């Protein structure tokens, strides 16, 4: 496979292109005037000052196509994606609320069963919410809160030149029939292991090993790295041949594009890379140093001896967000 085919596939993937409108909303709702907001735009979760910690606050809505084709999985993923967002920031999830819109009790019941399984596996309760019982459509949206110590918060916007780029991923999974670009790893495992995998991300934060990080979400593994670099106003060189892949992987592009059930990208000082990989290896995830951060503002890829540029952030945008590294209240005084 030629590298340009991979580049074109990532750049044109809907999981990447549909992010381009985010900045238009963010620009209308600035957070600069709110001193307790420590992180917001462009991050996986907002961080709100609360004593010696940050309250992490995130929300996700599931795409209508999935709700229609597989409402059980839609309910389950509504929980999974929110828990991953809290873990990506180095936090531990506390509780969720939901908004369910429905016109068919059968579909609603399947949504609820999927959500129930997500609660059981991740150990995060749904403590309230809102129901629209008389809609002409079906939708599920969940909001989540978590907590992280102030000095342990992992942002997207703080990668540094010279950092290693580390990918960690659970390779033991499969593609669900109705979700061709999702790698499902959590539904068939012991819930104790699933919880330990999320805890591994919190341990990376507790030990202050990473400068920046994100969970591998809809843009896929390399696309998620692109969002991190865009937010950090950095670039990187990445060798695609170093990315961990399942033993039976027959479609490398699909693998690069898929949403990882448990997958994170970190940038960190080189001396910390092996420790991050070790933490996730203990919870049955594979990891590798796949590249290096630089200040070029270009995400450049190598593959089987070829070289090419995936994104040039002097002209390209993924989200268009430029997160500010807000300072805690004490630092502003």
What does the pLDDT look like over 181-205, one tens digit per residue? 999 999 999 999 999 999 999 999 9
Residue 329 — very low, low, confident or very high, per pLDDT cuts 50/70/90? very low
- Domain 3-16+153-332: CATH superfamily, name plus number: PurM-like C-terminal domain (3.90.650.10)
Domain boundaries, the chain: 3-16+153-332, 32-150
Give the whole-angstrom CA distance, residue 14 versus residue 256.
Answer: 13
Residue 323 — very low, low, confident or very high, per pLDDT cuts 50/70/90? low
Q: What is the DSSP string of 26-75?
A: HHHS--TT-TTEEE-TTSSSEEEEETTEEEEEEEEE--HHHHHH-HHHHH
Token couple for 292: 């290096």
Is the pTM here over 0.75, yes or no? Answer: yes
Beta pairing class for 126-132 and 92-101: parallel
- CATH says 32-150 is which class? alpha beta
3-class SS of residue 100: strand
Q: What is the DSSP letter of 279?
A: H
pLDDT in tens, 67-117: 989 999 999 999 999 999 999 999 999 999 999 998 888 999 999 999 999
Contact 152, 213 (CB under 8 A): no
Question: Who wins on pLDDT, 53 or 24?
Answer: 53
**HSE toward the beta carbon, residue 80, CA cutoff 13 A:** 27
């Amino acid at each position: 496979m030629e590298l340009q085919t991979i580049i074109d596939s990532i750049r044109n993937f809907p999981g990447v292109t549909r992010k381009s409108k985010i900045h238009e909303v963010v620009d209308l709702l600035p957070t600069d005037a709110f001193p307790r907001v420590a992180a917001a735009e462009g991050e996986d979760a907002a961080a709100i000052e609360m004593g010696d910690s940050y309250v992490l606050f995130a929300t996700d809505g599931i795409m209508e196509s999935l709700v229609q084709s597989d409402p059980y999985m839609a309910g389950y993923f509504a929980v999974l994606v929110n828990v991953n967002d809290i873990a990506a920031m180095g936090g531990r999830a506390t509780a969720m609320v939901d908004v369910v819109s429905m016109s068919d009790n059968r579909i609603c019941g399947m949504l609820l069963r999927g959500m129930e399984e997500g609660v059981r596996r991740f150990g995060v309760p749904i403590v309230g919410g809102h129901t629209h019982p008389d809609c002409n459509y079906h939708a599920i949206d969940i909001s989540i809160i978590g907590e992280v110590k102030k000095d342990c918060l992992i942002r997207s916007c703080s990668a540094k030149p010279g950092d290693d780029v580390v990918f960690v991923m659970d390779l033991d999974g499969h593609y669900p029939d109705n979700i061709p670009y999702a790698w499902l790893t959590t539904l068939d495992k012991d819930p104790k292991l699933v919880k330990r995998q999320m805890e591994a991300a919190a341990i990376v934060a507790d030990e202050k090993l990473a400068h920046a990080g994100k969970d591998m979400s809809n843009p896929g593994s390399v696309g998620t790295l692109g969002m991190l670099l865009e937010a950090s106003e950095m670039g990187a060189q990445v060798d695609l041949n170093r990315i961990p892949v399942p033993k039976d992987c027959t479609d490398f592009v699909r693998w690069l594009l898929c949403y990882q059930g448990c997958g994170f990208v970190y940038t960190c000082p080189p001396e910390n890379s092996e420790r991050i990989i070790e933490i996730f290896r203990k919870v049955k995830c594979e990891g590798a140093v796949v590249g290096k951060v630089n200040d070029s503002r270009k995400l450049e890829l190598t593959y089987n001896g070829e070289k090419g540029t995936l994104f040039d952030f002097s002209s390209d945008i993924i989200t268009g967000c430029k997160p500010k590294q807000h300072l805690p209240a004490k630092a502003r005084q």
